[in-house]
Amino acid sequence: MNNVRLAKYDRPTPVQKHAIPISLAGRDLMACAQTGSGKTAAFLLPTVNRILTQGSDSSGPPTSQYGSRRGRSKTFPKALILSPTRELTIQIFDEARRFCYRTGLRPVVVYGGADIRDQLRQLELGCDLLVATPGRLVDLIERGRVGLSEISTLIFDEADRMLDMGFEPQIRHIVEGEDMPPSDVRQTLMFSATFPREIQALASDFLLNYIFLTVGRVGSTTDFITQRVEYADDRQKRDVLMRILPECDGLTLIFVETKRAADALEDWLICEGINATSIHGDRSQKEREHALKEFKSGRCPVLVATDVAARGLDISNVKVVIQHDLPNTIDDYVHRIGRTGRCGNTGLAISFVNERSKAILRDILHLMSESNQEVPAWFRDLALSAFAGRGGSGRGGGRMGGRGGGGSACRFGARDIRAGTSSGSGMESQSRFTPQSTQGSAAARDSSRRSGSAW
Residue-by-residue DSSP string for 172-211? HHHHHSSSPPPTTTSEEEEEES---HHHHHHHHHH-SS-E
Q: What is the pLDDT of residue 448?
A: 36
Which carries the bigger pLDDT value, residue 350 or residue 339? 350
Specify the pairing of strand 415-416 against strand 421-422: antiparallel
Backbone angles phi and psi of 68, in degrees to 5: -95, 145
Highest mean pLDDT among 328-337, 368-377, 385-394: 368-377
Residue 419 has pLDDT above 50, yes or no: no
Average pLDDT over residues 264-285: 92
Residue 59 has pLDDT above 70, yes or no: no
Q: Structure pTM?
A: 0.65
Residues of each domain in the chain carrying CATH 3.40.50.300: 2-219+432-449, 225-388
For all residues of the chain together, what is the average pLDDT? 79
Q: Is 94 helix (H, G, I), strand (E, B) or coil?
A: helix
Query: Cα(350)–Cα(254) distance, rounded to whole angstroms?
Result: 9
Label residue 74 by pLDDT band (50, 70, 90). Answer: very high
Residue 82 has pLDDT above 90, yes or no: yes
Domain 225-388 is found in CATH 3.40.462.20: no
How far, CA to CA in Å, does 353 sit from each of 233, 243, 284, 390, 441? 7, 16, 31, 18, 37
Residues 6+ apart with CB under 8 A from 186: 151, 152, 153, 154, 180
Highest mean pLDDT among 104-108, 191-195, 214-218: 104-108
Residues 6+ apart with CB under 8 A from 102: 2, 3
Query: Cα(334)–Cα(194) distance, rounded to whole angstroms?
Result: 10
Query: Cα(314)–Cα(91) distance, rounded to whole angstroms?
Result: 7
Closest alpha carbon to 135 in 207, 203, 82, 192: 82
φ/ψ region of 144 (left if φ > 0, alpha if ψ in -120 to 50, else beta) reads: left
How many residues comprise the chain?
455
Label residue 221 by pLDDT band (50, 70, 90). Answer: low
Label residue 415 by pLDDT band (50, 70, 90). Answer: very low
Cα torsion through 329, 331, 335, 341, rounded to 10: 110
The CATH architecture annotation of domain 2-219+432-449 reads 3-Layer(aba) Sandwich (3.40)
